Amino acid sequence: MEIQSVEDQPSLRVEDVLLIALKKIEDISRTKARIYSGFYSGIGLSVLEEDLPDETINPILWKKLISIDAKLNLILEKLIQNSDGFNQAQNRQVSLSEEDIRILTPDVFSADDFIEIKMQLPVNPPVWIILYGMVSRFKILKVEENEVWIRYSEMADDVKQIMGHYLFNRQREIVRKLRSASEISAAKPKKT
């Protein structure tokens, strides 16, 4: 039995609907895929022990201050994301792998166009990544619906890791749903 190396194994590919913003750029030679490093609110993080109030602060007031702080952080995060173009993102049907992406979009591109892709991966917590790549295929399907294939350029290791994590977990989720559906259909009594 021949054992394949990790490099020889086919990459994971999943079909999904993700928040995506596409923009044609002139040159990707100095760009590298990265995790969006904007402002993060830390929602879901617990308050550290050193952040707990001492006995002189009213616990009810402390909870209200924590709540206000979290809401202000969300507002700041949204404002920064809007200024960085993330407010242009829309849900798009994609076929995603670690090497390339197929996107259904109303945007028109040409082969060899350089593209910046801002994409939100629904991991826990959700994270925005910025990818760069070149259009390898473009096809007009119908009015306002085009299919574009983009091959990624260089990626930072943290982006590769989070992309692999998302792809693996999403594919596992899809397999679980298919198994569950087949078990349900097999368990149904057959009509005679």
Identify the CATH number of the domain in which residue 29 sits.
Answer: 2.40.10.220
pLDDT of 39 reads 43
Distance CA 175, CA 81 (A): 34
Domain assignment present for residue 111? The answer is yes
Instruction: Answer whether residue 89 shows pLDDT above 90.
Output: no
The pLDDT of residue 190 is 67
Tokens coding 165 = 């994590």
| Burial per residue of 94-130, b for 16 or more beta-carbon CB atoms within 10 angstroms, e otherwise | bebebebbbbebeeebeeebbbbbbbbbeeeeebbbb
How much is the average pLDDT of 170-175? 90
Joined tokens for residue 174: 């899809």
Is residue 148 assigned to a domain?
yes
Residue 158: inside a domain: yes
Q: Look at residue 1 and tell me if it is in a domain.
A: no
pLDDT over 90 percentage in the chain: 36
pLDDT tens by residue, 33-79 = 878 755 444 444 444 444 666 778 888 888 888 888 878 877 777 67
pLDDT given at position 147: 96
pLDDT at 84 > cutoff 80: no
Q: Which residue has the higher pLDDT, 95 or 27?
A: 95
CA distance 28 to 112: 11
As for how many domains the chain has, the answer is: 1
Enter the pTM of the model.
Answer: 0.67
Query: Is 3 a member of any domain?
Result: no
Cα 11 versus chain centre, distance = 17
Q: What pLDDT does 66 receive?
A: 86
Question: Region 14-19: what's the mean pLDDT?
Answer: 93
Residue 49 falls within a domain, yes or no? Answer: no
99 located within any domain: yes
Domain span at residue 119 reads: 11-36+91-185
Residue 180 confidence (pLDDT): 85
